[in-house]
């Protein structure tokens, strides 16, 4: 299977994950983001232990620690960005949060281009970006970035109407959540593209990375669970019926993560912006299931990204022919 289909499956998985993250977020619960982190850590940890027998490098304790250190720049940035993103869902609609966050796809691609050029891989960059890929990538990046600005403007307009909902209480300050997510996710995605690259990477296989990320997030989930226990003086039960949406979101997150790793390993320069366009799926799903309103500029941005994805698919199909 090519990088394009891995990335396509990933963006669908993460789009549905965003939907259920929002459905599982309690705007009145200031620790809602930590409860989500517990669930994600649990799912990723279980998957990591299940995949240990399939590790591409021997996973002795010393090797595990060594590889965890190698992958820590990416995993820590991802965990920080995701927890910040969960917190932001308490104050902003999903159709606002997701596009602003995923402007990171453009920034991470630019970061990787700079790195690969500095590492003497300029010819490889040229091979990745033929005419169709350039047009497709530009449409995706432009669509996602434009959607972020559109959402920011719409959010500001709604704030000026002095809406009474709690999610607007913090005004422009709430936009710091997706902006911080964007910064940390940019670093994590760029680090992933470099670490997983077959020519200049650190020699970690795809399954190894899934295992390491899963174990790291499991540790973060345990820390979040202990924090909740200390602060609330009671045991948080992630398996309660009310927490079902968080569990579904965590499963969709891990499903997308598996395909993301393989897409980034095969073609990080093109996979990064395409994967970041999962915000388009989030926006469409938020309109269908959460009844969040979409306006003409939003539809235009969505259309541009879809055309860009189609062009990348055509280019990939021609390359495989």
- Would you say 195 and 204 are in contact if contact means Cβ atoms under 8 Å apart? yes
For the stretch 116-126, pLDDT in tens is: 888 887 777 78
pLDDT of residue 164: 45
Q: How confident is the model at residue 317 (pLDDT cuts 50, 70, 90)?
A: confident
pLDDT band at 313 (very low <50, low <70, confident <90, very high): confident
The 8-class DSSP code of residue 201 comes to: S
Chain mean pLDDT for the chain = 84
Is the pLDDT confidence value at 41 over 90?
yes
pLDDT bin (cut points 50, 70, 90) of residue 58 is low
**The pLDDT of residue 273:** 86
In this predicted structure, what is the pLDDT of residue 56? 76
193: Cβ contacts below 8 Å, ≥ 6 apart: 108, 112, 264, 268, 269, 271, 272
End-to-end CA distance of the chain: 13
Mean pLDDT in residue range 242-249: 96
E strands, the chain, in order? none
Note the pLDDT of residue 1.
66
Rounded Cα gap, residues 45 and 214, in angstroms: 5
Helices (H), ranges, 26-130: 32-51, 61-88, 94-101, 104-118, 122-128
- E strand or H helix at 179: helix 176-196
Give the lowest-confidence range in 3-17, 85-99, 162-176. 162-176
Confidence of residue 284 (pLDDT cuts 50, 70, 90): confident
Reply yes or no on whether the pLDDT at 168 is more than 50: no
Distances in whole angstroms, Cα of residue 281 to Cα of each of 58, 98, 149, 168, 271: 38, 10, 17, 24, 16
222 pLDDT higher than 60 = yes
Alpha helices, DSSP H only, in 27-60?
32-51
Q: What would the mean pLDDT of 308-314 be, rounded to a whole number?
A: 89
Q: How confident is the model at residue 266 (pLDDT cuts 50, 70, 90)?
A: confident
Which of the residue ranges 21-25, 45-49, 100-104 would you say has the lowest mean pLDDT?
Answer: 100-104
**Do 24 and 243 form a contact (C-beta atoms < 8 A)?**
yes
Residue 73: count other Cβ atoms within 10 Å of its Cβ.
16
- CA distances from residue 180 to 48, 183, 185, 303 in whole angstroms, order as listed: 27, 5, 8, 27
- Residue 278 makes CB contacts below 8 A (sequence gap 6+) with 10, 11, 12, 13, 14, 15, 18, 98, 102, 256
Task: Judge whether residue 155 has pLDDT over 90.
Answer: no
Q: H or E segment at 202?
A: none
CA distance 103 to 55: 32
What is the reported pLDDT for 2? 86
What pTM did the predictor assign?
Answer: 0.85
Higher pLDDT, residue 250 or 107: 250
Q: Which of 105-109, 190-194, 235-239, 262-266 has the highest mean pLDDT?
A: 235-239
State how far the alpha carbon of 169 is from the alpha carbons of 92, 173, 292, in Å: 10, 9, 18
Tokens standing for residue 149: 């600005």
Question: pLDDT digit string (tens) for 170-181?
Answer: 445 566 788 888
* Range with lowest mean pLDDT among 16-20, 38-42, 157-161, 206-210: 157-161
């Amino acid at each position: 299977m090519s990088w394009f289909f891995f990335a396509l499956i990933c963006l669908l998985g993460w789009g549905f994950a965003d939907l259920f993250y929002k459905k599982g977020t309690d705007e009145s619960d200031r620790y809602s983001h930590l409860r989500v982190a517990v669930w994600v850590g649990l799912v990723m940890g279980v998957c990591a232990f299940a995949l240990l027998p399939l590790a591409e490098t021997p996973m002795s304790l010393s090797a595990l620690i060594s590889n965890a250190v190698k992958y820590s720049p990416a995993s820590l940035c991802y965990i920080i960005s995701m927890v910040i993103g969960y917190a932001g869902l308490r104050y902003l609609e999903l159709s606002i949060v997701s596009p602003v966050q995923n402007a990171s796809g453009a920034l991470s691609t630019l970061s990787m281009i700079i790195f690969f050029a500095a590492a003497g891989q300029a010819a490889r960059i040229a091979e990745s970006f033929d005419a169709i890929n350039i047009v497709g990538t530009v449409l995706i990046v432009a669509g996602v970035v434009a959607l972020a600005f559109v959402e920011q403007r719409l959010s500001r307009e709604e704030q000026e109407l002095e809406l009474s909902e709690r999610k607007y209480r913090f005004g422009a300050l709430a936009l710091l959540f997706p902006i911080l997510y964007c910064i940390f996710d940019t670093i994590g995605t760029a680090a992933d593209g470099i670490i997983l690259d077959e020519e200049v990477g650190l020699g970690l296989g795809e399954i190894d990375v899934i295992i390491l990320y899963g174990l790291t997030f499991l540790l973060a989930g345990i820390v979040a669970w202990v924090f909740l226990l200390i602060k609330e003086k009671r045991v948080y039960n992630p398996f309660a019926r009310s927490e079902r949406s968080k569990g579904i979101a965590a499963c969709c997150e891990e499903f997308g993560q598996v395909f993301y790793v393989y897409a980034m390993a095969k073609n990080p320069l093109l996979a990064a912006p395409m994967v970041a366009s999962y915000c388009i799926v989030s926006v469409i799903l938020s309109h269908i299931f959460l009844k969040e309103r979409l306006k003409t500029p939003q539809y235009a941005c969505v259309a541009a990204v879809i055309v860009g994805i189609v062009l990348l698919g055509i280019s990939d199909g021609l390359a495989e022919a």
